[in-house]
Amino acid sequence: MSSCDLCVVRNRAICSALDAKELEALNAIGRTRTIAPGESLIWEGEDSVLVANVIDGVLKLSTNTEDGREQIVGVVYPSDFIGRPFGGTTGHGVTALTDAKVCVFSRRDFDAFAREHPALEHKLLERTLGELDRTRRWMLLLGRKSASEKLASFLLEMAERLVGQGCSFDFEMPNQKRVTLPFSRQQIADVLGLTIETVSRQFTRLKNEGIIDLPSRRDVTILDLAALTAEAG
């Protein structure tokens, strides 16, 4: 069996549009790579030489300001597609937040394959439009929402995107979700455009109000999903 046959995100990734013969051809130009936390896959400003499907783990998209500060501009999860097909330079770096596994393709090989398979190009377009929608929601979050709304929105997105990746449901209490965040408090602050002190205060407030529990520094239990949704505005 090829790695495509065994891939756990095959039915959710862009390659889900391909039939068995096409998957075999795609498998021939790809390779699986594991990445440790903190290891980079793509560097900001470099020529686009590879693209990849995320199989497992969580990675951040980041850019650096002129004075050297990092700004996290996005997060990718299993089944997400990363890299810039069809040429150009990469506008952000891609670095693993957790242990991760990706299916990597030479950008030139992938471009040639995509041109011969319109269904794959269609999936790429769908993913691009979906990413554009998420970017617009993120602009609203950063530009208009209060600190409490920002953190609540962030936790809801993590709970939605991390199902099966450090997020689980309590089947005895289906309104509750347990999430292991792939971020430190400082990284959460950087993502949301807040200070770490503000993030810590908001976590404490949500806990004191019984909306979440904090069993550890990285673990969050959402006790009242409806209240957290209301908090997110």
Asked if the model's pLDDT at residue 69 lies above 50, the reply is yes
CA 185, 191, 192, 194 dihedral sign is: positive
At residue 210 the predicted structure's pLDDT band, cuts being 50, 70 and 90, is very high
Output the pTM of the full model: 0.76
Radius of gyration of the chain (CA): 19
Q: Say how far apart CA 73 and CA 134 lie, in whole Å.
A: 11
pLDDT recorded at residue 170: 46
pLDDT recorded at residue 2: 54
Return the beta strands (E) in 77-226 as ranges.
81-83, 93-96, 100-106, 167-170, 173-180, 212-213, 219-222
Residue 17 makes CB contacts below 8 A (sequence gap 6+) with 117, 119, 120, 122, 123
Q: Say how far apart CA 143 and CA 85 lie, in whole Å.
A: 30
Which candidate, 77, 28, 23, places its Cα nearest to that of 54?
A: 77
Q: What is the pLDDT of residues 154-199, one digit of tens each?
A: 898 888 877 655 444 443 455 678 888 888 888 888 878 889 999 9
50-56 and 212-213 beta bridge pairing: unpaired
Element housing 47 (H / E): none
DSSP state of 111: H
Hey, is 35 helix, strand or coil? strand
Q: What is the pLDDT of residues 18-48, one digit of tens each?
A: 888 888 888 889 899 999 999 999 998 888 8
Percent of the chain with pLDDT over 70: 90
pLDDT recorded at residue 16: 80
How far, in Å, are 114, 150, 152, 167, 186 from residue 231 at the CA level? 43, 9, 6, 20, 22
pLDDT recorded at residue 173: 52
Asked if the model's pLDDT at residue 149 lies above 70, the reply is yes
Domains present along the chain, CATH in parentheses: 3-142 (2.60.120.10), 146-231 (1.10.10.10)
Which candidate, 166, 191, 165, 167, places its Cα nearest to that of 177?
A: 167
Mean pLDDT (the chain, rounded): 84
